[in-house]
């Protein structure tokens, strides 16, 4: 217990007759980088709120650094970026960061915080005059300015353009070394690249939990990718093909047995080009897990 950052033991939470979480048990240990995934309504935000002490469980137990998530000593070791934030619109960026830094014993410097959040040059702008993406950067700055041991990010890159999304993760990857990270995202490529462990929630229950490669192995599908003058309907009925789709100029077939499917597709189109077999991406595995458990 002393080596755990966050512990859920048989945790349930409901809103009226709707079960948001049902008997969820999990443990996060120091240094882990964990992606919490699930479709809308799966219970991700409820789990995050329970972890931060914003909600109480109706059953089970939540502990943060071995204490109640509501304890000041535990909360002082956590930084959080949620989907909404009540920041006064007339605060300047510098003022907001300085205010939040004052709450912590060993905060990051103002300069380091602004650099990590990509806010250099915006220090004197009012929060209310920033774009939506810039406001998300300020919210991230407030989450990290206390130099927390445990960082919780709920959909951190929503509203950010692709270039800043990439810069955000590259910067975070450097800073978060040695710390514990829990993040939710609908961009599954982010989880595939930046998480070491994935927890998949569906209908309030944990459906998969483990290292990224282990979770991928739960769905044994491979992807056969090739170019053909024929459409995907020419291949989707072949034995062993789980799904056929078009991605750009390619046809992609999901299968558990590529060695038996490849001769069949060559028989359908001997002139197909650029054939390759690859491991299914986390996004494809995620959708297959959810489909199997509906």
pLDDT digit string (tens) for 77-109?
Answer: 999 999 888 899 999 999 999 999 999 999 999
Clarify whether residues 77 and 167 are in a common domain: yes
How far is the C-alpha of 100 from the C-alpha of 119, rounded, in Å? 15
Exposure of 116 by Cβ count < 10 A (0-12 exposed, 13-18 middle, 19+ buried)? buried
**Domain CATH for 171:** 3.40.50.300
Q: What does the pLDDT look like over 124-137, one tens digit per residue?
A: 999 999 998 899 99
How far is the C-alpha of 200 from the C-alpha of 64, rounded, in Å? 21
If one counts the domains in the chain, the total is 2
Clarify whether residues 260 and 125 are in a common domain: no
Clarify whether residues 34 and 155 are in a common domain: yes
Q: Which helix (H) or strand (E) is 68 found in, with range?
A: none
DSSP conformation class of 126? B
Clarify whether residues 206 and 70 are in a common domain: yes
Residue 132 has what pLDDT? 87
Of the chain, the percentage scoring pLDDT greater than 90 comes to: 67
1 within domain boundaries: no
Domain boundary among 164, 192, 217: 217
What's the chain's average pLDDT?
90
| CA-wise closest residue to 47 among 213, 156, 200 | 200
Clarify whether residues 12 and 68 are in a common domain: yes
14 within domain boundaries: yes
Domain boundary among 171, 196, 217: 217
Let me know: does 59 contact 223? Beta carbons within 8 Å. Answer: no
| Residue numbers of the domain that contains 266 | 222-293
Clarify whether residues 97 and 239 are in a common domain: no
- Structure token digits, residue 291: 């489909």
Residue 269 has pLDDT above 70, yes or no: yes
Clarify whether residues 252 and 196 are in a common domain: no
Let me know: does 5 contact 29? Beta carbons within 8 Å. Answer: yes
Q: Kindly report the pTM of this predicted structure.
A: 0.79
How far is the C-alpha of 181 from the C-alpha of 41, rounded, in Å? 22
Q: Name the strands in the sheet holding 180-184, side by side, starting at the edge strand that comes first in the sequence.
A: 78-81, 150-154, 180-184, 33-37, 197-202, 205-211
In 92-196, the DSSP E strands lie at: 150-154, 180-184
Q: What does the pLDDT look like over 26-84, one tens digit per residue?
A: 999 999 999 999 888 899 999 999 999 999 999 999 999 999 999 999 999 999 999 88
Domain boundary among 217, 234, 258: 217
């Amino acid at each position: 217990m002393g080596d755990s950052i966050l512990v859920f033991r048989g945790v349930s939470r409901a809103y009226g007759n709707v079960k948001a979480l049902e008997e969820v048990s999990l443990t996060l240990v120091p240094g882990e980088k964990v992606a919490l995934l699930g479709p809308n309504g799966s219970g991700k935000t409820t789990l995050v709120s329970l972890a931060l002490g914003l909600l109480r469980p109706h059953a089970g137990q939540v502990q943060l650094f071995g204490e109640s998530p509501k304890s000041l000593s535990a909360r002082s070791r956590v930084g959080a970026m949620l989907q909404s934030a009540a920041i006064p619109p007339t605060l300047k960026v510098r003022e907001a960061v300085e205010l939040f830094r004052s709450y912590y014993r060993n905060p990051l410097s103002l300069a380091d915080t602004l650099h990590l959040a990509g806010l250099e040059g915006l220090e004197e702008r009012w929060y209310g005059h920033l774009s939506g993406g810039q406001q998300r950067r300020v919210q991230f700055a407030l989450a990290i300015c206390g130099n927390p041991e445990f960082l919780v990010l709920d959909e951190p890159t929503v509203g950010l353009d692709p270039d800043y999304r990439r810069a955000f993760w590259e910067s975070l990857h450097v800073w978060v070394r040695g710390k514990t990270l829990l993040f939710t995202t609908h961009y599954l490529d982010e989880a595939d690249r930046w998480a070491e462990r994935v927890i998949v929630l569906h209908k309030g229950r944990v459906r998969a939990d483990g290292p990224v490669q282990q979770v991928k192995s739960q769905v044994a599908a491979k992807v056969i990718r090739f170019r053909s003058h024929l459409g995907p309907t020419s291949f989707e009925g072949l034995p062993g093909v789980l799904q056929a789709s078009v991605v750009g100029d390619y046809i992609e077939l999901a299968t558990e047995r590529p060695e038996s499917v490849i001769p069949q597709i060559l028989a359908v189109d001997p002139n197909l080009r650029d054939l390759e077999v690859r491991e299914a991406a986390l996004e494809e595995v995620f959708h297959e897990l959810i489909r199997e458990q509906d």
